[in-house]
Amino acid sequence: MTISPRDFTIGVEEEYQLVDARTGDLRSRARWVIAGDWTGEVKPEMQEHTIEVETRVCEGTECLADDLARVRFQASVAAGAEGLRILAAGTHPFGAASGHGFTRKEVYAAIREEYRELAETQSIFGMHVHVGVPEGVDRTRVTNAARFWLPHLLAVTASSPFYQGRDTGYCSFRTLLWRRWPRSGAPPRFDGAAELALLLRWLTETECLDGPGRLYWDLRPHHRYPTLEFRAADVTPRLEDAVAAAALARAVVAGVVEGVLREPGLPGTVAQALLGENSWRAARDGTDAVFVDLFAPEPRTVPARDAVLGVAQALRPLAAELGDGEALDALGALFERGCAARRMREAATDGDLRRLALWAADETVLGLGMDRRNEQRPEETTVP
């Protein structure tokens, strides 16, 4: 059966740090950056050290790569006018988590009142991938299977090893910080859309939340768009890594819909617990993680490299039909150089985290036309 790219549209949202162009310090200047953006595509987030962009709805990762390059370029130009740079990484290497300005919107004031210290110390930056689901397919049931590949997505995007001036020992410490929030992590299994609706009714009528947007799961059927929203990923510096991760998410959804991928045969409670183990392992070790193989007949482990590239190979025919074969193939090169967290540690061997912040800012705009480099030359990343 031939599948149509129009049935599996794709779009990405990215959150960028605003950092001083000379020192790499985190700066709460979003309102000024947004005011200077003539495109209207650079948007606020809760904290003023963050700006957000989103691509258009695309029918393939070639379109997605072009659009993501465009919005990164626009955000970089707007930030540059304020003496700032954009930095795509899950946490800032040394900036304090609290004491930053808040965006003046009623919704963010309500979040501060509801979540208190969690909101005050919210200094993390993610990438969300939206994948369209064909009309008539129960997105909740697709979620049941697709969630088992969330650790794979996190492993390839992990980009937050440093936090408040220390190496945390994790590749995605952003994940650990985000887990503090209620209704985060992998979603539970639902028998279908009606059961999810029942949960939402109970949560809203008991005032646990004010709407479905407060379900902060790593994967959720979106409440406004006919998509599944993957929320597990760190925003990652290299654009090609972001595109490869998005291609993986899209291929997983198509694989579930087409019956190539299914839920593991383990009992539901066991599978859910082991999914949590794999997510934690991905957060700790990124592309060097070793996963529990939920699809093996007996308990065993599998390196993240084999798990990710194995599912990519299984999904390659579907990805090719969607026009994403080349983007999915880029996962091989990603594993060769490692996730961003590994490369960030390599760039910070001298312990200079200011230099690291500027290195990561350079990575964020490589190949976008901000300069003519496709690879960084180390001598050009020093602090003036």
**Residues of the domain holding 140:** 5-380
- Distance of alpha carbon 224 from alpha carbon 262, whole angstroms: 26
- Distance of alpha carbon 240 from alpha carbon 336, whole angstroms: 14
- Residue-wise pLDDT for 88-129, tens only, equals 999 999 999 988 989 888 889 989 889 999 999 999 999 999
What values do phi and psi take at 52, rounded to 5? -130, 145
* Surface-to-core class of residue 28, CB atoms within 10 Å of its CB (0-12 exposed, 13-18 middle, 19+ buried): middle
How many domains is the chain partitioned into structurally? 1
DSSP three-state, residue 102: strand
State the helix-helix crossing angle for 239-257 and 325-337, rounded to 10 degrees: 130
- Residue-wise pLDDT for 330-368, tens only, equals 999 999 999 999 999 999 999 999 999 999 999 999 988
Q: CATH number of the domain that 93 lies in?
A: 3.30.590.20
| Residues of the chain falling short of pLDDT 50 | 379, 381-384
Q: Would you state the pLDDT for residue 371?
A: 60
pTM of the model: 0.94
- Residue-wise pLDDT for 123-156, tens only, equals 999 999 999 999 999 999 999 999 999 999 999 9
